[in-house]
Amino acid sequence: MITAETRRNVSNKVFCDGSRDYRWREMANLTGDQREKYVQGMFARIAWRYDRMNRLMTAGQDMRWRQEVIRRAALMPGCRLLDLGAGTGDLAAEAQRQYPSSRVTAADFTLEMMQAGKSKRESTITWSGADALHLPFPDETFEAVVSGFLLRNVSDITLALHEQQRVLKPGGQMVALDTTHPPKNLLSPLINFHLNKVIPTLGKLVTGEAEAYTYLPDSTQGFLTAEQLAGRLVEAGFRNVGFRRVMLGTVAIHWGKK
């Protein structure tokens, strides 16, 4: 549990240190409940400007990656898809666009993100308050489980992948989109400048929350490499595991079959 004492200690560091970035470097290292509370609070604050910032920082490319994620879910008519950590539901909406007869559930533990998503479109998406680590769905419910920029945020990746396995039907498909460690090459200085300077500055201008967009490169840095994540999928029991990098290697799409 996050306690008042923890909050005081963390925010004391801001005042003693004089650096707000320092606080968010700490946040990226939090574990368990503390991490979840901070992730929730952060997305609640940026919920209403989250989509605009996504389009800006990816130059609109995120919509193309979402199309690929949903294509890879390969749903048959009438099948069920879970968009986990759905936020404002862009993946869920894309699933409805590509598979109009599918039954789509969007689940997240930050209500403000789902409210922002519900308010921007008319749809038949079923919205559900849910923790990715303890899904409120019976075993073998969905033909596909997809997620966008979720896995880097969860406090227990093994448990999150096991939950996705559990709620998938045999033969079901999981597809995950997330930021990843970019490969080191000649473009690295440019990429690092974009991730560590341009995105937080843009984030502050668009959402008023520079910290949330400092958390993005920090949490990516603290997350598994694309190869390691593929290994975790295999360990969790997925087969036919693969991944593809996009956006100069800074974003990856992973997939696996139950």
Ligand X SMILES: C[S@@+](CC[C@H](N)C(=O)[O-])C[C@H]1O[C@@H](n2cnc3c(N)ncnc32)[C@H](O)[C@@H]1O
Do 161 and 233 contact (CB within 8 A), yes or no?
A: yes
Residue 113 interacts with ligand X (CB under 6 A): yes or no? yes
**In whole angstroms, what is the distance from residue 68 CA to residue 136 CA?**
27
The least distance separating ligand X from the CB of residue 243, rounded to whole angstroms, comes to 17
Region from 26-34, 107-115, 200-208, 249-257 binding ligand X, contact rule CB under 6 A: 107-115
- Who contacts 21 (Cβ-Cβ below 8 Å, separation ≥6)? 211, 214
Region from 3-11, 16-24, 143-151, 191-199 binding ligand X, contact rule CB under 6 A: 143-151
- Who contacts 134 (Cβ-Cβ below 8 Å, separation ≥6)? 163
Give the one residue of 81, 91, 229, 252 binding ligand X; rule: CB under 6 A: 91
Do 117 and 55 contact (CB within 8 A), yes or no?
A: no
| Matching residue, tokens 């862009």 | 90
With respect to ligand X, which residue has the nearer C-beta, 13 or 221?
Answer: 221
With respect to ligand X, which residue has the nearer C-beta, 53 or 75?
Answer: 53
Choose among 164, 150, 146, 168: nearest CA to 70. 146
With respect to ligand X, which residue has the nearer C-beta, 148 or 256?
Answer: 148
Residue 148 interacts with ligand X (CB under 6 A): yes or no? yes
Hey, is 93 helix, strand or coil? Answer: helix
Residue 53 interacts with ligand X (CB under 6 A): yes or no? no
* Interface residue list for ligand X (CB under 6 A): 36, 39-40, 43, 54, 85-87, 90-91, 108-110, 113, 130-133, 148-150, 153-154
